[in-house]
Amino acid sequence: MVARAPASQQPPEQTDERLLVEAAQKDPARFADLYEIHFERVYAFIARRVGDRDAAEDLTSDVFHKALANLKRFEWRGVPFGAWLLRIAVNAIVDRSKRHGREIAVDDPPELSTRPGLQQVEDRARLFRLVDELPKNQRHVVVMRFAEQKSIREIAQHLKRSEGAIKQLQFRGLENLRDRFEVLKGDRPKKNVTTKKEKKKSGGRNG
């Protein structure tokens, strides 16, 4: 039997999370609070390992459906609820790989009770959102280059552009991401960084 500390001796964030879990176990409608807190972490964890946005969204949905269905079985033993969710995510990723006829090794979830691991997961989630805000051509190049692991030549052939143009789009996309990411983290003052929505409003070209 795993000993657990009394609620009064647990860190404040764990005590708050425990109360949310217990509330959701009594009233499933309260699960929405846990979903809002943990969605980005779970999505980023899955997306980094499957490398496919649609698959990551489907698996993330499956994880929360399974978590809700099994919520009454969850016992608070001092391990963060988020770690339980990521364990479900690991199993979902492994099951998907088996269905596709290939075995993959999935590393253990980061320990969410430690700040460094949590920060890395949150940073990845922000990055995925920023990629979606890139101008169309930059977004395509960044996704194909780093998520799909395609070469510059393959991307150039697919988009019917020169390799030089692809390299330029990659450079602009990465610069755009870095600037916006540092603004979000508060490392530098905001400057004019064009998103795909802003491009559309201004009538400018995607590039």
The CATH number of residue 154's host domain is 1.10.10
Does residue 187 surpass a pLDDT of 70?
Answer: no
Do 152 and 82 reside in the same domain of the chain?
A: no
Residue (of 78, 74, 81) closest to 36 by Cα position: 81
Total domains present in the chain:
2
Q: What is the pTM of this model?
A: 0.48
User: Could you report the per-residue pLDDT of 56-67, keeping only the tens digit for each?
Assistant: 889 999 999 999
Do 20 and 98 reside in the same domain of the chain?
A: yes
Do 97 and 170 reside in the same domain of the chain?
A: no
Does residue 101 surpass a pLDDT of 50?
Answer: yes
User: Could you report the per-residue pLDDT of 59-100, keeping only the tens digit for each?
Assistant: 999 999 999 999 988 887 767 888 889 889 988 888 887 776
In which region does residue 4 sit, left (phi positive, over 0), alpha (psi from -120 to 50) or beta (all else)?
beta
